[in-house]
Structure 1
Amino acid sequence: MPLPSAVLFDMDGTLVDTEHLWWEATAEVAAEVGYTLGDSDLPEVLGHAVEHTAAHLDSVVTGSPGAAVLGERLNSAFTSRVAAQVVPRPGALALLAELRDAAVPTALVSASPRQVVDLVLTHLGRDWFTVTLAAEDTERTKPDPAPYLAAAAHLGLDPAVCVAVEDTPTGVASAHAAGCAVLAVPSSDVAIPAGPGITLLSSLLLADLPLLAGLTARPAE
């Protein structure tokens, strides 16, 4: 079975265990302005860029210092946590190694700022990826399809022959809208519905080349 032409990976919560660090950073900044983060905030925090979450906090906090100030605080709190602890998700490095051995190009497609992406790459290794995209690299970020469209364009490929690996509904929406086959490996309790072009898996430990090949080999639905 032909292999996918490329595999495009989300970063936070997919390849590295940083989604909880983002939640912790957001909870800290929220507490500083008198707001307690709760389950109702999950859809506006997990999988989103700093600017989106800052705008959300600005809308729910009475007497907010403004989205720009909140964004700076979120970026600082998250960056300091990432610098202190970057842990690959189970199965992530093994899958990257399998793809490299099979000469399948890979891209990192993140909604995090370049500063955070570069910190993670220092720990994870830059050589795994042919292309890396951060939040600043496209005019619009997830859930817009722009990041995945840009990654495929950088590789000279049609998104339809690529597999995107994601962990949140926001990221899945971005990759699916771009036309990629999507492998969703949830990192939180936020449900990701299965559907045409979206395959759910409980762990990257269960992902391998035959499974990825099967995703792009499926006829369009």
Structure 2
Amino acid sequence: MRAVLWDMDGTLVDSEKLWDVSMHELYARLGGVLTPEVRESTVGGSAGSVMATVYSDLGLEPDPVAMAESADWLHDRTGELFEAGLPWRPGARELLDALLGAGVPMALVTNTRRVLTENALKSIGRHYFSVSVCGDEVENAKPAPDLYVRASELLGFAPAECLAVEDSVTGTTAAEAAGCPVLVVPNDVAVPRSPRRRHIESLSGATVADLRAVYAGFA
């Protein structure tokens, strides 16, 4: 395990609860009601994929300009919610501290746009990450592998040398497609099992040695 590649929303911080708020408000603006099933389908998605889901669900004309405006509003509103600070997922901060102390390089790999990610890093702490790669900085966001491929390249390692930590189906699919073994820490959405995934209930109490053992188990 040469490096650890971290998803952000739902994995490091419990920001999906804030996305819940802004998504419900967006639906109200567009004249609809967000169902739990549709909300679940958008977890971990990119701006483009989320808007495609929203407009299809509401039966709205998929006008690119209108969809872009809605995406901008959603990110601006979520940014306002982020300003109050982001709640950590159990054990996440402690594990970041341990990895940093052990000299393990880390990257933040998120579908969230750069502007909003920079906002989030004020709460999380940018000093943990050697690099960060955002959904609006690659041709194809998660579930495509581009983000994880780019992050590993920037760190100077092959994807197979990096352990990805994810909470969503979308993110886990992306990491797996890039060639990363994946540690899955489910939050609100169940993630199916596969040979390249290991599941744990929580990061609480997890150590650097635990991550190395998980990675070694894929050999």
Instruction: Return the alpha-carbon distance in structure 2 between the equivalents of residues 6 and 52 of structure 1.
Output: 29
2:199 is the counterpart of 1:200? yes
Paired with 1:43 and 1:145, the residues of 2 have a C-alpha distance of: 21
Q: Match for 1:173: what amino acid?
A: T
Alignment partner for residue 56 of structure 1, among 53, 58, 68?
53
Aligned to 1:186: 186
Report if aligned partners of 1:25, 1:77 keep a CA contact under 8 Å in 2: yes
Letter of the 1:94 counterpart: E
TM-score by length of 2: 0.93
Q: 2:11 aligns with which of 11, 14, 19?
A: 14
Q: Does 1:154 align with 2:151?
A: no
For 1:33, the aligned partner's letter is L
CA distance in 2, matches of 1:135, 1:63: 24
Name whichever of 72-81 and 138-147 sits farther off. Answer: 72-81
Query: 1:119-156, CA deviations, whole angstroms, 9 ceiling, x for partnerless residues?
Result: 11111111100011111221111000100010000011
1:15-52 deviation line (CA, Å, top 9, x unaligned): 11101111221111011112111122134311012221
Where structure 1 has 5 or more consecutive residues not aligned to the other structure, the ranges are: none
Matches within 5 A, 1:15-94: 15-63=12-60, 66-94=66-94
User: Is the CA contact (8 Å cut-off) linking 1:106 and 1:129 kept in structure 2?
Assistant: yes
Q: State the identity as a percent.
A: 37
Q: Counterparts of 2:39 and 2:207 in 1: how far apart (Å)?
A: 30
2:170 equivalent in structure 1: 170
TM-score, with length taken from structure 1: 0.92
Query: Contact 2:141–2:147 at 8 Å: present in 1 too?
Result: yes
The aligned length equals: 216
Structure 2 unaligned spans of 5+:
none
Cα-Cα RMSD: 1.5
